[in-house]
Amino acid sequence: MSTGMLILALVIIFPLAMFVGRTRAGVLNRGSQRLHSRPVYHGVYLALMAILPALFVIVVWGVAEPLIINNSARGELPQTVLDLPVAEQNLVMGVINNLADGYNRLSDDELAQMRAGADGTQRMLAAKGIFLPSAPEPFMVDVAEHMASAKMTSRLLAALVSAVAAILGFFIGWRRIAPAMRARNIVERMMLIGLLAASGVAILTTFGIVMSVLFESIHFFSIVPVTDFLFGTVWDPRFSAPGREGAGQFGILPLLWGTLFISFVAMLVAVPVGLFSAIYMSEYASSRLRAFAKPVLEVLAGIPTIVYGLFALVTFGPFLRDTGGAIGLEISANSVLTAGVVMGVMIIPFVSSLSDDIITAVPRAMREGSYGLGATQSETIKRVVMPAALPGIVGAVLLAASRAIGETMIVVMAAGIAANLTLNPLEPVTTMTVKIVSQLTGDLEFNSPQTLVAFALGLTLFILTLGLNIIALHTVRKYREQYE
């Protein structure tokens, strides 16, 4: 029985238990003593009593099961494998895991072939939907068999234990229903815990992100030294089979350069356009123009990035190439310029709407002081409003920069795929996000450095953008406090 089925069962149990509890409380209500809480609270109470313990069991089981089973399987590995470095052990475990997942789909005959170490088993398994990075070795089949059966037992046990928990919870709850019971208070306390838990999801997400990229990155760095990654100037992750010689070179510098170069071009477009739009809208535009222009700029922010990417790919890139050709410049259709300009347009609204807020927040008194001295409007904006708004605007620009750095689809479609350390904006470069996508799409074997490097790139990207965001949010918040 899968976890999904168990949870589905709980979803069905909930209203049933609620109905029972409500009816029970209703019956009690007709007695002499008045109910403390309305029957519906007793119903919810009983329902919660029935499902919460079971849910707890399911969740704990779901987390613990793979850990335990994997550990015990690791113990069964022959000594030859255990002598290998950790990274290669993981490769072996990956094969076993995939094998175990599909174990029940295999016939005895096929298993026997694998045990005998026959040729072509990898292809045979692929036909059954079991994709292995390398041919299964006989010892793996045994481990996989144990693993598969352990999983079966574990699932059965999980179902049994959670059923017991549910029934137990239900009966305890049932016995406790009484007129004097403060069902509402209990239910409300549980609701509060639920609310708290919901707000914890944000933290859990961040934790999940950090853990997932960190673990896989550490895994990657056990194969490729950190220094080679951080200071290498060559990006050449040869797609060789795992475990073989020549893992390729994973220097991040060309990718980092590409990312920063494109983002820089994007900011060259977005900052002046966004800032001047914001200034014009907040200081000059009539309210009618404002009512029209603001939503239009927001449309720019609402267009999915894939659409920008498509535009860059089919319209803007070829247009630049042809114009370049007409004036004797060689611009490739995928270039820093193409991706940068289109990305710049995409982040205009991020600059403009935040800047608009910030400029509007500059107190009117400040402007009047300047007008009162006979300054023109632009003098007031340039010399009084802008300096006052500067910290906030810096924050807005940093946020926009972090968007640019993390943007994926535009660069995937318009920047190019070859790592290129160049200063020429007319040439293609590639970025970290492009490489994350290209290393992780298609059939992947999860344990090779070629795949894992994506997580190291993700970690770099995360740290980079997180740093920018924290600084940006901090400056913006400080700025807001100043004028509150």
Partner 1 sequence: MSDTVIPVHRLTADELSARTRRRYAAERRFRYYGIAALSFAFFFLIVLFASIVSNGWSAFVQSSFAIAVKLDRTVIDPDNTGDPNVIRAADYTKLARQALYERLGVDAESRPERRDANGLLSRGVDTQLREAVLGDPSLIGQTVSFNLLANGDVDALLKGAISRDVPEANRQVNDRQVAWADRMVEEGVLKKRFNTGLFTFGASSQPETAGLLVAIVGSFFMMVVVVLLAVPIGVAAAVYLEEFAPRNRWTDLIEVNINNLAAVPSIVFGLLGLAVFINFFGLPRSASLVGGLVLTLMTLPTIIIAARAAITAVPPSIREGALGVGASKMQAITHHVLPLALPGIMTGTIIGLVQALGETAPLLMIGLVAFVVDVPSTPLDPATALPVQIYMWATSAERGFVERTAGATIVLLGFLFVMNAAAVYLRKRFERRW
Partner 2 sequence: MMNDTRMEFQTMEQPMAAEQMRNDTLKMTARDVDVFYGAKQALFGVNLDINNNEVTALIGPSGCGKSTFLRCLNRMNDTIDIARIEGEIKLDDQDIYDRKIDVVELRARVGMVFQKPNPFPKSIYENVAYGPRIHGLARNRTELDDIVVTSLRKASLYEEVKDRLDEPGTGLSGGQQQRLCIARTIAVNPEVILMDEPCSALDPIATARIEELIDELRENFCIVIVTHSMQQAARVSQRTAFFHLGKLVEHGETQEIFTNPRDQRTHDYITGRFG
With CB under 5 to 8 Å by kind, the binding choice for 473 among partner 1, partner 2, none is partner 1
- In angstroms, the Cα distances linking 274 to 168, 282, 284, 480 are 62, 12, 15, 20
Q: What is the DSSP letter of 34?
A: P
Q: Please, which of residues 283-322 interact with partner 2 by CB under 8 A? A: 287
Q: Please, which of residues 164-203 interact with partner 1 by CB under 8 A? A: 184, 188, 191-192, 194-203
Q: How far is the CB of 208 from partner 1 (least distance, A)?
A: 5
- Choosing from 104, 315, 323, 482, the residue that interacts with partner 1 (CB under 8 A) is 315
With CB under 5 to 8 Å by kind, the binding choice for 321 among partner 1, partner 2, none is none
Size of the site for partner 1 (CB under 8 A): 90
Report if residue 231 touches partner 1, rule: CB under 8 A. no
Report if residue 366 touches partner 2, rule: CB under 8 A. yes
Give the three-class secondary structure for 421: coil
Say how far apart CA 119 and CA 112 lie, in whole Å: 12
Q: How far is the CB of 307 from partner 1 (least distance, A)?
A: 6
Backbone angles phi and psi of 425, in degrees to 5: -70, -5
Q: How far is the CB of 314 from partner 2 (least distance, A)?
A: 45
Query: Quick one: which segment of 27-35, 59-67, 326-334, 361-369 binds partner 2 (CB under 8 A)?
Result: 361-369
Residue 365 tokens read as 């008194």
Report if residue 375 touches partner 2, rule: CB under 8 A. yes
Report if residue 367 touches partner 2, rule: CB under 8 A. yes
Residue 159 burial (CB count, 10 A):
20
Please say which residue, 143 or 388, places its beta carbon nearer to partner 2.
Answer: 388
CA 464 to chain centre: 15
Report if residue 326 touches partner 1, rule: CB under 8 A. no
Please say which residue, 170 or 257, places its beta carbon nearer to partner 1.
Answer: 257
- Choosing from 18, 148, 267, 345, the residue that interacts with partner 1 (CB under 8 A) is 345
Report if residue 56 touches partner 1, rule: CB under 8 A. no
Say how far apart CA 76 and CA 273 lie, in whole Å: 63
Q: Please, which of residues 406-465 interact with partner 1 by CB under 8 A? A: 406-409, 412-413, 433, 436-437, 440-441, 446, 454-455, 458, 461-462, 465
With CB under 5 to 8 Å by kind, the binding choice for 366 among partner 1, partner 2, none is partner 2
Please say which residue, 392 or 458, places its beta carbon nearer to partner 1.
Answer: 458
- 301: exposed, middle or buried (C-beta count within 10 Å: 0-12, 13-18, 19+)? middle
Measured between its terminal Cα atoms, the distance across the chain in Å is: 57
With CB under 5 to 8 Å by kind, the binding choice for 148 among partner 1, partner 2, none is none
Say how far apart CA 37 and CA 45 lie, in whole Å: 11
Say how far apart CA 53 and CA 415 lie, in whole Å: 52
Report if residue 387 touches partner 2, rule: CB under 8 A. yes
With CB under 5 to 8 Å by kind, the binding choice for 372 among partner 2, partner 1, none is partner 2
Query: Quick one: which segment of 6-14, 43-51, 268-276, 320-328 binds partner 1 (CB under 8 A)?
Result: 268-276
Say how far apart CA 253 and CA 30 lie, in whole Å: 77
Report if residue 384 touches partner 2, rule: CB under 8 A. yes
Report if residue 153 touches partner 1, rule: CB under 8 A. no
Please say which residue, 170 or 384, places its beta carbon nearer to partner 1.
Answer: 384
Report if residue 386 touches partner 2, rule: CB under 8 A. no
DSSP H helices, 313-385, are 317-326, 336-361, 364-372, 377-380
Q: Are 198 and 215 in contact (CB under 8 A)?
A: no
Q: Please, which of residues 367-396 interact with partner 1 by CB under 8 A? A: 376-379, 381-382
Residues 6+ apart with CB under 8 A from 240: 246, 247, 248, 450
Please say which residue, 58 or 359, places its beta carbon nearer to partner 2.
Answer: 359
Containing H/E element for 401?
Answer: helix 386-406
Say how far apart CA 16 and CA 21 lie, in whole Å: 9
- The length of the chain is 484
DSSP H helices, 234-335, are 253-279, 287-302, 305-311, 317-326
String of DSSP letters for 7-30? HHHHHHHHHHHHHHHHHHHHHHHT
CA atoms within 13 A on the CB side of 63: 5
With CB under 5 to 8 Å by kind, the binding choice for 55 among partner 1, partner 2, none is none
Report if residue 104 touches partner 1, rule: CB under 8 A. no
Q: How far is the CB of 164 from partner 1 (least distance, A)?
A: 24
Report if residue 216 touches partner 1, rule: CB under 8 A. yes
Interface ranges with partner 2 (CB under 8 A): 287, 363, 365-376, 379, 383-384, 387-388
